[in-house]
Structure 1
Amino acid sequence: MARSNNFYILASLLVILSFVCLKAQAQDQDITQHGGVADGKTDSAPALLAAFTAACASPTPSNIVIPKGDFFMSQVVLNGPCKSTIGINLQGNLIAPTNPITPDPKSDWFNVRNLVGLNVFGGGSMNGQGKQAWDRKLKGETLDLMAMFSMSFVTNGDIRDVTFTQSKNTHVHLYGCKNVTFTKVTIDSPDLSPNTDGIKMGVSSDISILDSTLKSGDDCVAILSGTERLTVVNTNCGPGHGMSVGSMGGTPNEKDIVGVHITNCTFTGTMNGVRLKSWQDKFVAAATDVKFEDIIMVNVGNPIIIDQEYCPAANCGGKAPSKVKISKVAFTNIRGSSSTENAVKLTCSQLEPCKDVTITDINLTFNGGKTISSCTNVQPILSGVQNPQVCSAPVAPAPAPVV
């Protein structure tokens, strides 16, 4: 009996010892313990990389801690795979160089790659110091500008309670990612900052943007080829160019965009509201199962727009029609105010007319009065309130059943 008790005591001690050892291995990696200095001048990129290397080697989840203070950071690449989940506890403010020229055009400013399990949290911020780059860009210079926070081939990501501000280019860029959620994220750049998309993604699936505020000089959310199952809920957009599916058909062999659901969002003072856009002529592509529902527009330039003659330059007139197929698009319960009289523009391709477009309960005003709509190469299915009247008569209500 004594031997049995001793065995269980020994086994219990071994379990406790193993747990303690694992906890020790998973201790937080504070960048100040690796040489990081919160003076806003000393380059803390080597310290961040050292902290990441230690955390990445841990067999249990580990956090990289960036404490309160201003940490200057040159271009950095955190490249997995790692042995376990990585957390970035961003409490302080990371500051990018003002120089707009990227030292490595293949990388963005803060790069995270090849990870399974990434958590970014802490209430801190990343500051791209983009004004010098914007000023030169607006003067016509051709610059290879870095995105701010780039995630490539990251699976199971949770980004919450952080701010991305003043990016030289796109604030957050996803490529090849799966199952990533953004919660209470803030993007903050002025409306005249060029090409500063809020969150841009391509070839990524199961992405969610929740309860966030996105202010930028370009698309609040840019949805590019290969995006599948994107959900945006309870998010404010503006200033910016709205939330855009596309542009599509600009490059060969683009993957389809499937399953975009944008719900319960507010757009304020944006150039566009909810938009699908594709290039004229060029290449084959497709977007399907796109839903915009319960949207509030406040003084928005083009609240509802499909633009298959997209051309940001001035020399696109007369080109062949778009080869992009757009189908199964729903605009439901969209209300508020337009800053232009033409509140609904559905310009589809003569070669590939839009199919299965439904418009339900639309109520948009212009200067407190009526709005108009325009349609090309599309026959939308209409129901409910139609203000403006969208292109054809509403669907008649079903007859009452005969008793």
Structure 2
Amino acid sequence: MASSLRASCIFLLSLTALLTITSAATLNVISFGAKSDGRTDSTQSFLKAWASACSSVQAATIFVPRGRYLIKAAVFRGPCKNRITVQIDGTLVAPDDYWGLGNSGYWLLFIQVNRLSVIGGTLDAKGAGFWACRTSGRNCPVGARSITFNWVNDGVISGLTSINSQLMHVVVNSCKNVKVQNVRIVAPDLSPNTDGIHVRGSTGVTISGSSIQTGDDCVSIGPGTRNLWMEKINCGPGHGVSIGSLGRDFNEDGVQNVTLINSVFSGSDNGLRIKSWARPTTAFVSNIKFQNIIMKNVGNPIIIDQNYCPDNRGCPRQTSGVKIDQVIYQNIQGTSATPVAVIFDCSPSNPCRGIKLRDIKLTYLNRKAQSLCKNIGGTAAGVITPESCL
């Protein structure tokens, strides 16, 4: 009888412990005081849920139910004790007053966290008021990037929708092994500096299955990016997929091992772009591959511009020090919105090298498009339209 009672007690204690662990592993922001009315400031409730998840020895999920949650600028800081998943079924909204996100440059910042996943949901940054402020020339805040991963390793952003970011929508900075997949990004085509996904200083990033309609680069690739894989991206409107601009600073890291495949550009201002400032630098671009790309009425479908010098300030009469080599363009087809569909405007002091064209078919108004080459060396194979100028 005593042994049976002891066994029952042990069972109940084990069950209680299991239920405690299970309940601790899923953290509903409502339980921390968040309101889903879109008007009540829920920032502190989200931060309290994060603090609990970050200190949990068990893998934790922060759950955001359906509804609209008003969030001001928030920093979700690690390191944390175990894996964290932020499961968003609702919408996070920024304050109506664009000053409400402050001057930090961030809206939602995740920093120094390993094994982090942000799944689903919508971010509505309400950027229109900020854009109007910028274009009017009034005194404005610096602007906020909607979601930023800084020093995040083994991270995932999946199924997220970002609407009307003040500045860049998604930023991956100084990270390793981050996957951005099945995201949807929406902003007007004239919204300034609203890059869809910006990657810099990161290694092993994958971007896939995403739709990006915005006012700046669909994907922008900054210094220090290595081993970036992109596939199944729909871009447009926007400024295309851009490596750069590079070479703004003299001591600057390069970009290498970047691949983009199986993607479609529709009505974007540019297609495949490499851009560098016309001044001395240590930056470089190496081992790039663009393959199986469809262009639909795209301005500058293929362009290397090494004479970037906005407003002719800071770089007149200089040449780009960015060394560009081993860039492959293969099976690029479709229509150009500009008569010159292929532009290679490379640096006279550091000519482009190892540029390879294979099976390019780009037309302009149902006619042959043109190509332009300056300071470039490379090869062409297969069917090339417009005629290669290499």
Q: Indicate the TM-score class for this superposition, using the shorter chain for normalisation.
A: over 0.9
By how many angstroms is 1:120 displaced?
1.1
2:69 matched residue in structure 1: 71
By how many angstroms is 1:313 displaced?
2.5
By how many angstroms is 1:141 displaced?
4.1
> Cα RMSD between the aligned structures?
2.1
How many residues matched? 384
By how many angstroms is 1:39 displaced?
1.0
By how many angstroms is 1:136 displaced?
1.7
Matched, 1:128 2:125: yes
1:321 pairs, out of 286, 307, 319, with: 319
Distance in structure 1 (CA, Å) of the matches to 2:297 and 2:304: 19
Aligned AA for 1:130?
G
Aligned AA for 1:196?
T
Is the 2:241–2:273 contact (alpha carbons within 8 Å) kept by the matching residues of 1? Answer: yes
Secondary structure class of the residue paired with 1:32: helix
By how many angstroms is 1:169 displaced?
0.4
Aligned AA for 1:156?
D
Secondary structure class of the residue paired with 1:20: helix
Q: Which runs of 5+ in 1 are unaligned?
A: 393-403
CA distances 1:84-114 after superposition (whole Å, capped 9, x unpaired): 0111111100001233337653440011011
2:205 pairs, out of 179, 204, 207, with: 207
CA distances 1:312-337 after superposition (whole Å, capped 9, x unpaired): 33557842110111111011100000
Matched, 1:390 2:383: no
Secondary structure class of the residue paired with 1:217: coil
2:98 matched residue in structure 1: 100
1:343 matched residue in structure 2: 341
2:180 matched residue in structure 1: 182
CA distances 1:232-271 after superposition (whole Å, capped 9, x unpaired): 1011001100000010000232112111100001000000
Instruction: Extract structure 1 runs of 4+ deviating beyond 4 A.
Output: 12-19, 314-318
Q: Which runs of 5+ in 2 are unaligned?
A: none
Aligned AA for 1:138?
T
Is the 2:278–2:315 contact (alpha carbons within 8 Å) kept by the matching residues of 1? Answer: no
Distance in structure 2 (CA, Å) of the matches to 1:372 and 1:276: 19
2:134 matched residue in structure 1: 137
Question: Which region of structure 1 is more displaced relative to structure 2, 134-143 or 320-329?
Answer: 134-143
By how many angstroms is 1:41 displaced?
0.8
What aligned pairs does 1:44-123 form with structure 2 within 5 A after superposition? 44-101=42-99, 104-122=102-120
TM-score (norm 2): 0.93
Is the 2:85–2:116 contact (alpha carbons within 8 Å) kept by the matching residues of 1? Answer: yes
Is the 1:256–1:286 contact (alpha carbons within 8 Å) kept by the matching residues of 2? Answer: yes
Seen in structure 2, the aligned counterparts of structure 1 residues 52 and 316 have a Cα distance that, compared at 3 Å, is closer
By how many angstroms is 1:379 displaced?
1.9
Is the 1:187–1:216 contact (alpha carbons within 8 Å) kept by the matching residues of 2? Answer: yes
What aligned pairs does 1:247-326 form with structure 2 within 5 A after superposition? 247-315=245-313, 318-326=316-324
TM-score (norm 1): 0.91
Is the 1:25–1:58 contact (alpha carbons within 8 Å) kept by the matching residues of 2? Answer: no
Residue identity over aligned pairs, in percent, reads 36
By how many angstroms is 1:349 displaced?
0.5
Is the 2:280–2:322 contact (alpha carbons within 8 Å) kept by the matching residues of 1? Answer: no
Aligned AA for 2:122?
S
Secondary structure class of the residue paired with 1:49: helix
Distance in structure 2 (CA, Å) of the matches to 1:72 and 1:126: 10
1:238 matched residue in structure 2: 236
1:398 matched residue in structure 2: none
Distance in structure 2 (CA, Å) of the matches to 1:65 and 1:175: 25
CA distances 1:144-197 after superposition (whole Å, capped 9, x unpaired): 111110110000111111101100000011111110101110011110100000
Secondary structure class of the residue paired with 1:135: helix
CA distances 1:207-237 after superposition (whole Å, capped 9, x unpaired): 0111110111000000000001111101100
1:377 matched residue in structure 2: 375
Distance in structure 1 (CA, Å) of the matches to 2:163 and 2:24: 31
Is the 1:64–1:89 contact (alpha carbons within 8 Å) kept by the matching residues of 2? Answer: yes
